[in-house]
């Protein structure tokens, strides 16, 4: 099946800063370096890392349904044992893309660790990953059949999918979506309760 998305991987970007270590042995374990003598390396190098990402990332169902596009930047640390820790999205494009990217990095095979003063050290990185889906017309009927629940924010007011359909029609364009994010019915509004759905998402429609 032809892929509905493409993954653009840009080389890891390391923010340069002083790597001089003046701490005690105890504090050294907590230090995170961004410029060191020997940088961490993924098995197979950058090409191998790119192949790992492209083969294992999964485009979230809701992002594919709605046609979410965007560049997600994440920071992470290659720990002293080569494992990936402290994965943090630095921005949000929604529809589950952040969770998928974090999961992918956390499950990444171990790297060879960075070395400073002949000792393994923690090294901070950031990486941008671009999600690109087919954009176009999104049919309300397809959202209903998806198994996910949807709440719409139109001009600051929340609506059920049936209510939103009366306002914006039986379809909308992907480009009209500002963001789609998990919806938690904290106020216990009955019409937004959807216990039969896998997850419920809030679709925020751009103001025109």
pLDDT in tens, 159-183: 999 999 999 999 999 999 999 999 9
> What residues have CB less than 8 Å from 112, skipping those under 6 apart?
40, 41, 43, 82
pLDDT at 25 over 70: no
> What residues have CB less than 8 Å from 208, skipping those under 6 apart?
none
For the chain, which residues make up each domain, given as ranges?
A: 5-133, 137-205
Over residues 83-118, the pLDDT tens digits come to 999 999 999 999 999 999 999 999 999 999 999 988
Contact 38, 115 (CB under 8 A): yes
Q: How far apart are CA 73 and CA 92, in angstroms?
A: 8
Is domain 5-133 annotated with CATH 1.10.3110?
Answer: no
Query: For residue 36, what pLDDT is reported?
Result: 74
Which percentage of the chain shows pLDDT scores above 90? Answer: 65
Query: For residue 28, what pLDDT is reported?
Result: 47
> What residues have CB less than 8 Å from 127, skipping those under 6 apart?
9, 10, 12, 13, 73, 74, 76
pLDDT at 12 over 50: no
Plot region of 101 (φ>0 → left; ψ -120 to 50 → alpha; else → beta): alpha
DSSP character string of 146-185: TS-EEEEEETTEEEEHHHHHHHH-SEEEGGGEEEEEE---
pLDDT band at 9 (very low <50, low <70, confident <90, very high): very low
Give the DSSP letter of residue 27. H
Higher pLDDT among residues 17 and 182, named by residue? 182
- C-alpha atoms less than 13 angstroms from C-alpha of 25 in its C-beta half-sphere: 1
Chain mean pLDDT for the chain: 84
Section 144-149 average pLDDT:
94
pLDDT band at 33 (very low <50, low <70, confident <90, very high): low
pLDDT band at 129 (very low <50, low <70, confident <90, very high): confident
Q: How far apart are CA 192 and CA 190, in angstroms?
A: 5
Query: For residue 23, what pLDDT is reported?
Result: 36
Higher pLDDT among residues 76 and 208, named by residue? 76
pLDDT at 137 over 60: yes
**Phi/psi of residue 91, each to 5°?**
-150, 180
Residues 58-96: b if buried by 16+ CB within 10 A, e if exposed: ebbebbbbbbbbbebbbebbbbbebebeebeeeeebbbb
Contact 126, 15 (CB under 8 A): yes
Section 120-124 average pLDDT:
92
Cα angle for residues 128, 133, 139 (degrees, 5° grid): 140
Q: How far apart are CA 176 and CA 160, in angstroms?
A: 17
Least confident of 12-21, 100-109, 114-123: 12-21
């Amino acid at each position: 099946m032809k892929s509905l998305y493409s993954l653009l991987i840009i080389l890891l970007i390391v923010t340069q800063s002083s790597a001089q270590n003046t701490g005690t042995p105890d504090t050294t374990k907590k230090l995170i370096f961004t410029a060191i003598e020997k940088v961490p390396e993924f098995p197979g190098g950058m090409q191998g890392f790119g192949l790992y990402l492209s083969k294992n990332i999964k485009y979230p169902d809701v992002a594919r349904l709605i046609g979410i596009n965007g560049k997600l930047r994440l920071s992470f640390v290659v720990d002293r044992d080569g494992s990936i820790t402290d994965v943090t999205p630095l921005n949000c494009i929604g529809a589950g893309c952040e969770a998928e990217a974090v999961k992918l990095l956390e499950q990444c095979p171990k790297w060879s660790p960075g070395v400073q003063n002949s000792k393994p050290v923690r090294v901070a990185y950031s990486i941008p990953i671009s999600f690109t889906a087919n954009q176009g017309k999104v049919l309300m009927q397809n959202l209903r059949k998806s198994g996910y629940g949807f709440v719409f924010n139109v001009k600051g007011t929340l609506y059920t999918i049936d209510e939103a359909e009366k306002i914006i029609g039986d379809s909308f364009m992907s480009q009209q979506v500002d963001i789609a994010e998990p919806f938690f019915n904290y106020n216990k509004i009955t019409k937004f309760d959807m216990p039969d759905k896998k997850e419920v998402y809030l679709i925020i429609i751009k103001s025109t």
